[in-house]
């Protein structure tokens, strides 16, 4: 088992390790069943505001696919308002017709639906969606979560818990039963993106914060974060940030979001002993009529990241960036700062060609000290395709590197491969959220 491998056996060993190692997924938008599900199922009727999305109609109306459907039938043929007024099932039928009937589903997100159905052992719906709709309606969501996790080989996943979202907060207030398959992540975009709006919301929840950060704002803001992080048992705090995100020193005179970050958010993370995740490069609502599908990518300034990592050595930062052009400098930044952990090929980067390029560059610059991927699934079933598509790519990149090593005479054993793959798929994350 622990003999050095001949070069001819390396690729098989790597693929085995990458497929067999259970992943801990550090960024998804999947919720446990206590948050309710809008999908009618074997265990009960639809809960219209429920947050756990799953099933064929949710998969087809994923915003990645909605954007693609509007390329096939643009707004002059299917006005945005008309589409949004349709029932979920009619929207799904429309997307199905555009992307699977009138066109061939070769895009990453379209193929992903097929990968998922195939992995679940379902017939591909060449003759329509009704059979699939019946099958999903017969599932009990709680058992179905287990099934998806087993097929995707996932140990645990994080939710994205947007505390400034009234609908989500109402669910917490109504009472959530802990579910060991999920960890919470306290998501706080408005604090950094729009301080006055965040302050108004916090005041509404009984915290004494002012629009201009005066008076007791700093201690009250921290109290808000500590209360909610404690209540959710959040494993880290997070925000998605625009390409224009900047940080110099967080001092007086700097934008309020930057000051709040330095004076409220990062001290709270230190008190809690948890990292802060920055997802940088999403320009919201480039086309607002498209809803979630209308966001754009943009190149950001890496100096914000290096300034932050340098100024706050007592904090730990997960960082992912959305623009392909930022990837190299982000790797270089991670070489400078031990408190920076790069993660995932985010959103528009989660395509095989880019995952391969980015993962190879990361291995070359950072060895095994990064987190190669997260699913970012919004619909439970997508966990399957996101990981089925990424795993072979990660394995391919690693295998080529080990083969090169064998060429130098360095012994590469199954144990070394297993250790490295565990680091990449779970331990780097676990060690970063709870350092020894
Ligand atoms: O990937 C996505 O689905 C995006 O819409 C966002 O959720 C993004 O990942 C985010 O977390 O802001
Ligand atoms: Zn996300």
- 311: domain CATH number is 3.20.20.140
Chunked in runs of 10, what are the mean pLDDT values of the chain (436 residues)?
A: 94 98 98 98 97 98 98 98 98 98 98 98 94 97 98 98 98 97 98 98 98 98 98 98 97 97 98 98 98 98 98 98 98 98 98 99 99 98 98 98 98 98 98 91
DSSP E strands, 164-226: 182-187
Residues 204 and 328 in one domain: yes
What pLDDT is recorded for position 436?
76
The protein residue with its alpha carbon nearest to ligand 1, atom 9, reads 376
The domain tally of the chain equals 2
Ligand 2 centroid from CA 1, angstroms? 39
The residue nearest atom 1 of ligand 1, judged by CA position, is 347
Q: Which residue has the tokens 């350092």?
A: 435
Are both 262 and 410 inside the same structural domain?
yes
Residue that has been written with the tokens 């880019």 in this structure: 354
Residues 107 and 176 in one domain: no
Same domain, yes or no, for 364 and 418? yes
What domain range includes position 357?
Answer: 7-34+154-433
Instruction: Retrieve residue 104's tokens.
Output: 């061939």
**Closest ligand by atom to 241 CA:** 1
Nearest residue (by CA) to ligand 1, atom 7, is 376
282 CA from centroid of ligand 2 (Å): 10
pLDDT of residue 1: 67
In the DSSP assignment, the letter for residue 381 is T
- Index of the ligand 1 atom closest to the CA of residue 160: 11
Q: At what angle do helices 382-408 and 7-20 cross, to 10 degrees?
A: 150
Burial of 360 (C-beta count, 10 Å sphere; 0-12/13-18/19+): middle
371 lies in the same domain as 327: yes
Closest C-alpha residue for ligand 1 atom 12: 240
Q: What is the pLDDT of residue 416?
A: 97
Q: Which atom of ligand 1 is nearest to the CA of 240?
A: 12
Query: How many angstroms separate the most distant Cα atoms in the chain?
Result: 67
- Nearest atom (ligand 1) to Cα of 282: 12
Distance between CA atoms of residues 211 and 123, nearest Å: 55
Cα–chain-centroid distance for residue 72?
A: 27
| Separation CA 28–CA 375 (nearest Å) | 6
**H or E segment and range at residue 343:** none
Asked if the structure places residue 50 within a domain, the reply is yes
- Give the side-chain half-sphere CA count within 13 A for 347: 21
Ligand nearest to the CA of 162: 1
SS3 content of the chain, % helix, strand, coil (to 5): 55, 10, 35
CA dihedral 406, 412, 413, 414 (to 10 degrees): -90
Reported in sequence order, the residue ranges of 247-367 that DSSP labels E, i.e. its strands, are 276-280, 282-283, 296-297, 317-321, 340-342
| Residue 292 Cα: closest atom of ligand 1 | 5
Q: How far is the CA of 295 from the centre of ligand 2 (A)?
A: 12
| Minimum-distance ligand 1 atom for the alpha carbon of 27 | 11
pTM over 0.75: yes
In ligand 1, the atom with minimum distance to the C-alpha of 29 is: 7
Within this chain, do residues 131 and 113 fall inside the same structural domain, yes or no? yes
* 169/129 same-domain check: no
Burial of 353 (0-12, 13-18, 19+ CB in 10 A): exposed
* Ligand 1 shell residues, CB under 6 Å: 29, 160, 240, 279, 282, 292, 347, 376, 378
Q: What is the structure's pLDDT at 314?
A: 98
Whose alpha carbon is nearest atom 10 of ligand 1?
Answer: 240
Which ligand is nearest the CA of 350, by number? 1
CA distances from 75 to 49, 192, 218, 290 (A): 27, 33, 46, 10
Same domain, 193 and 296: yes
Q: Residue 147 falls within a domain, yes or no? A: no
CA of 265 to the centre of ligand 2 (A): 20
């Amino acid at each position: 088992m622990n003999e050095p491998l001949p070069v001819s056996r390396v690729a098989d060993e790597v693929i085995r390790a990458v497929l067999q190692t259970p992943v801990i997924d550090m960024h998804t938008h999947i919720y446990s069943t206590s948050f309710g599900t809008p999908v009618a199922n074997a265990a009960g009727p639809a809960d219209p505001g429920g947050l756990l999305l799953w099933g064929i109609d949710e998969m087809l109306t994923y915003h990645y696919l909605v954007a693609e459907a509007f390329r096939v039938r643009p707004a002059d043929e299917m006005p945005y308002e008309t589409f949004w007024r349709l029932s979920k099932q009619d929207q799904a039928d429309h997307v199905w017709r555009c992307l699977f009937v009138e066109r061939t589903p070769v895009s990453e997100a379209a193929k992903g639906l097929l990968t998922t159905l195939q992995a679940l052992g379902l017939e591909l719906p060449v003759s329509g969606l009704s059979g699939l709709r019946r099958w999903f309606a017969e599932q009990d969501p709680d058992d179905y979560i287990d099934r998806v996790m087993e097929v995707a080989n996932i140990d645990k996943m994080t939710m994205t818990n947007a505390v400034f979202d009234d609908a989500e907060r109402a669910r917490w207030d109504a009472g959530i039963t802990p579910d060991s398959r999920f960890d919470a992540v306290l998501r706080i975009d408005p604090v950094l993106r729009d301080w006055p709006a965040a302050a108004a919301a916090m005041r509404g929840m009984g915290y004494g914060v002012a629009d201009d950060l005066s008076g007791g704002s700093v201690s009250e803001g921290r109290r808000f974060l500590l209360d909610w992080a404690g209540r959710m048992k959040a494993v880290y705090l997070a925000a998605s940030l625009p390409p224009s995100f900047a940080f110099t020193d967080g001092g007086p005179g700097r934008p309020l979001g930057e000051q709040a970050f330095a004076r409220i958010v990062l001290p709270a993370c230190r008190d809690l002993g948890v990292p802060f995740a920055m997802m940088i490069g999403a320009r919201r609502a480039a086309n607002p009529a498209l809803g979630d599908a209308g966001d754009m990518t943009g190149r950001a300034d890496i100096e914000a990241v290096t300034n932050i990592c340098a100024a706050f050595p007592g904090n730990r930062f997960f960082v992912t960036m959305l623009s392909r052009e930022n990837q190299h400098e982000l790797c270089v930044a991670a070489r400078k700062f031990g408190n920076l952990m790069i993660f995932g090929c985010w959103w528009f980067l989660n395509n095989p060609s880019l995952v391969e390029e980015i993962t190879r560059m990361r291995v070359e610059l950072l060895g095994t000290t990064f987190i190669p991927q997260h699913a970012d699934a919004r619909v439970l079933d997508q966990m399957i395709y996101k990981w089925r598509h990424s795993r072979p790519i990660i394995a391919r990149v690693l295998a080529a590197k080990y083969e090169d090593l064998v060429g130098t005479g360095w012994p590469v054993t199954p144990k070394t491969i297993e250790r490295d793959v565990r680091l990449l798929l779970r331990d780097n994350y676990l060690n970063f959220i709870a350092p020894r």
